[in-house]
Chains A and B, each alone.
Chain A
Amino acid sequence: MAGASFSYGQSPALADIDFEVRAGEAVALIGPNGSGKSTLLKGILGLIQRVSGTVEVLGASAAPAGSIGYVPQADEIDQQFPVTLEQVVMMGRYRSLGWLRLPGKRDRQAVTHALDAVGLGHRAKTRFGELSGGQQQRGLLARAVAAGPRLLLLDEPFNGLDQQNRDALVGTVKRLKEEGVAVVVSTHDLQLAREVCEQVLLLNGTQVAFGPRESVLILENVQRTFREVGVEIDEHTVVVPGHTGH
């Protein structure tokens, strides 16, 4: 992505983004609420209007069908919808299946494999809305995994997760990276950035810094990113008081 800016209709949302992610590596998008993290993910997906710059995904201006796995925030989804976890994961296969065709044996195997990968094989027949928030988030990751993506986009996957669900998610993302999947993850969780991501992109309506984690996550940069909410640095943890949600 080079010099890319995005907008919703007339209002600009995010300006001058310059970064790349390589196969098997992960980039953390870090910034306060409304800093454009979700916007950037939607920009990569081509879901919002790009006003300038270029976006190349997997070497092409339009990504090949089914090559991007996207994990939205679970609260964006209709909780009452009558669908089982297994069916949700199968949705990851629809794009490569194409219109008019029904899932076959290979698709069912991919679904089983993806559910096992996130540790939810035993909940396959459970109604999606009956799962806990953390399990739903893992289910949506399984849906992305089932598509066999080469680029994985995660939008705040760790919001409100307990330790067990968090560990399961981290483990899955690490395994995918080992298999050569490139990962872009938006998060508030600097600990997660340390565990999973080699690169960090700091955002605040515009790009504050991008580069290797160690050189980007320094006090000065973080202060510039979170300027309005204040920052404390306490050993290795940066705490941003009063800062929750997206």
Chain B
Amino acid sequence: MGYFEKALLAAAVIGALSGLVGSLVVLRRRTFFAQALTHATFPGAVAATIVGVSIPLGAALASILIVGIMTLIGRVKRQGTQVASGILLTAGFALGVLLQALNPSLPVQVDSYLVGSILTVTTGDLALAVGVLGVAVAVIVLLGKEILFSTFDPSGFRAAGFREWPIELLTLTLITATVVTAMPAVGAILAIALIAAPAAAARLVTRTATQILVLAPVLGAAAGLVGVLLSRAIDVAAGPAIALTAAALFLLALGGRRLSLARLRLTA
């Protein structure tokens, strides 16, 4: 497999994964949390390069640390999770920049952490993405009904005799794994576009959560493929091309929905 074919495959797999897990992010209203997580992976990746371990490993460790700190700050009275996410988003990013400035001799360019470099993804990165996608699909097929119930009506879910924390832990783990997986391809800053935009677009044009869970991965994969092809055709960086394609899909869905609502009003 040539580097371009590998890039296409990685873009499709990571796009599908981001769309699928992004559906959970959008339905559970955790977009800002996911955004903070993507930025927090940045210092983890820089630190991993300095120490010489694998970048996804460093990003994953940083994410776990960040989720822990965020949970603690979220418990402070009258602060809540939004504040916690906001603080860590900027602090994580600043820490990454600082680490990089302190180590000017790093072999990797700063850009590749921030906007990704899908043309240089390794077979290992690709295998990780396929593995995480497989786990995410299995979780959503097997536990989708509990996840949707707890998201829709948490007190009804508890009243029915279920516990909430396994669902919360499971979704946080999936979100973290997705952010870490998407980072080598689309970078810390752009990953959120691929996670939020396809799911938000799917939500606009569907009626049920099940339809979102099917459509969002398709849109995510499409954004990945089109982005990589565009980047070659007009010679721009792949990460931004993927993120802009995802954003364009969202705008298309928004426009489509407006049109169909307007038509409904005309016929009514």
Q: Contact: A81 with B209, CB < 8 Å?
A: yes
The DSSP consensus for interface residues of chain B is helix
Q: Contact: B212 with A82, CB < 8 Å?
A: yes
Q: Contact: A82 with B203, CB < 8 Å?
A: yes
Q: Which residues of B contact A45 (CB under 8 A)?
A: 158-159
Q: Which residues of B contact A68 (CB under 8 A)?
A: 159, 161
Most buried by B among A81, A82, A99, A102: A82
Residue of A nearest to B27 (CB): A81
Which stretch in A2-10, A69-77, A168-176, A217-225 binds the other chain? Answer: A69-77
Q: Which residues of A contact B142 (CB under 8 A)?
A: 99-100
Q: Contact: B207 with A84, CB < 8 Å?
A: yes
Q: Contact: A70 with B156, CB < 8 Å?
A: yes
B3 is an interface residue with CB less than 8 A from chain A: no
List B129-182 residues whose CB lies under 8 Å from chain A: 142-143, 145-146, 148-149, 151-153, 155-156, 158-162
Q: With both chains docked as a complex, state the minimum distance between the C-beta of A23 and any C-beta of chain B, in angstroms.
A: 20
Contact of A47 among B146, B151, B158 (CB under 8 A): B158
Residue of B nearest to A45 (CB): B159
Residue of B nearest to A63 (CB): B161
Q: Which residues of B contact A63 (CB under 8 A)?
A: 161
Q: Contact: A66 with B145, CB < 8 Å?
A: no
B206 is an interface residue with CB less than 8 A from chain A: yes
Q: Report the bound CA distance from A140 to B149 in whole Å.
A: 13
Which stretch in A28-36, A87-95, A181-189, A234-242 binds the other chain? Answer: A87-95
B208 is an interface residue with CB less than 8 A from chain A: yes
A78-111 vs B, Cβ < 8 Å mask (1 yes, 0 no): 1001111001101110110101101100000000
Q: Contact: A94 with B208, CB < 8 Å?
A: no
Q: Contact: A66 with B160, CB < 8 Å?
A: yes
Q: Contact: B208 with A88, CB < 8 Å?
A: no
Q: Which residues of B contact A91 (CB under 8 A)?
A: 145, 149, 152-153, 156, 160
Contact of A94 among B149, B155, B203 (CB under 8 A): B149
Number of interface residues of A (CB under 8 A): 33
Q: Which residues of B contact A84 (CB under 8 A)?
A: 207-208
Q: Contact: B145 with A82, CB < 8 Å?
A: no
Given contacts A84-B208, A147-B160, contact A94 B146 (CB under 8 A): yes
Q: Report the bound CA distance from A57 to B156 in whole Å.
A: 18
Contact of A72 among B148, B156, B209 (CB under 8 A): B156
**CB within 8 Å: A-B pair count:** 79
Residue of A nearest to B202 (CB): A82
Q: Report the bound CA distance from A185 to B159 in whole Å.
A: 15
A123 is an interface residue with CB less than 8 A from chain B: no
Q: Which residues of A contact B27 (CB under 8 A)?
A: 81-82
Q: Which residues of B contact A42 (CB under 8 A)?
A: 159
A127 is an interface residue with CB less than 8 A from chain B: yes
Q: Contact: A47 with B159, CB < 8 Å?
A: yes
Q: With both chains docked as a complex, state the minimum distance between the C-beta of A82 and any C-beta of chain B, in angstroms.
A: 5
Q: Contact: A65 with B161, CB < 8 Å?
A: yes
Most buried by B among A72, A83, A143: A83
Q: Which residues of B contact A82 (CB under 8 A)?
A: 27, 203, 206-209, 211-212
Q: With both chains docked as a complex, state the minimum distance between the C-beta of B267 and any C-beta of chain A, in angstroms.
A: 18
Q: Contact: A72 with B159, CB < 8 Å?
A: yes
Q: Which residues of B contact A76 (CB under 8 A)?
A: 153, 155
Given contacts A99-B143, A99-B146, A127-B207, contact A77 B159 (CB under 8 A): no
Q: Contact: B152 with A77, CB < 8 Å?
A: yes
List A207-224 residues whose CB lies under 8 Å from chain B: none
Q: With both chains docked as a complex, state the minimum distance between the C-beta of A184 and any C-beta of chain B, in angstroms.
A: 13
Q: With both chains docked as a complex, state the minimum distance between the C-beta of A185 and any C-beta of chain B, in angstroms.
A: 15
Q: Contact: B209 with A94, CB < 8 Å?
A: no
Q: Which residues of B contact A99 (CB under 8 A)?
A: 142-143, 146
Q: Contact: A47 with B145, CB < 8 Å?
A: no
Given contacts A100-B142, A127-B207, contact A83 B148 (CB under 8 A): yes
Q: Report the bound CA distance from A111 to B152 in whole Å.
A: 18
Given contacts A77-B153, A81-B27, A91-B152, contact A100 B143 (CB under 8 A): yes
Q: Report the bound CA distance from A129 to B221 in whole Å.
A: 30
Extra pairs beyond A82-B206, A83-B148 (7, CB < 8 Å): A65-B161, A70-B159, A78-B151, A88-B152, A94-B149, A94-B162, A102-B145
- Which of A's residues lie within 8 Å of B, judged by CB? 42, 45, 47, 63, 65-66, 68, 70, 72, 76-78, 81-84, 87-88, 90-92, 94-95, 97, 99-100, 102-103, 127, 140, 143, 147, 153
10 sample A-B contacts, Cβ–Cβ < 8 Å, listed by A number: A42-B159, A68-B159, A70-B156, A77-B156, A81-B27, A82-B27, A82-B212, A91-B145, A91-B153, A99-B142
**Which 7 A/B pairs are nearest by Cβ-Cβ distance?**
A70-B159, A95-B160, A81-B152, A91-B149, A100-B142, A45-B159, A65-B161
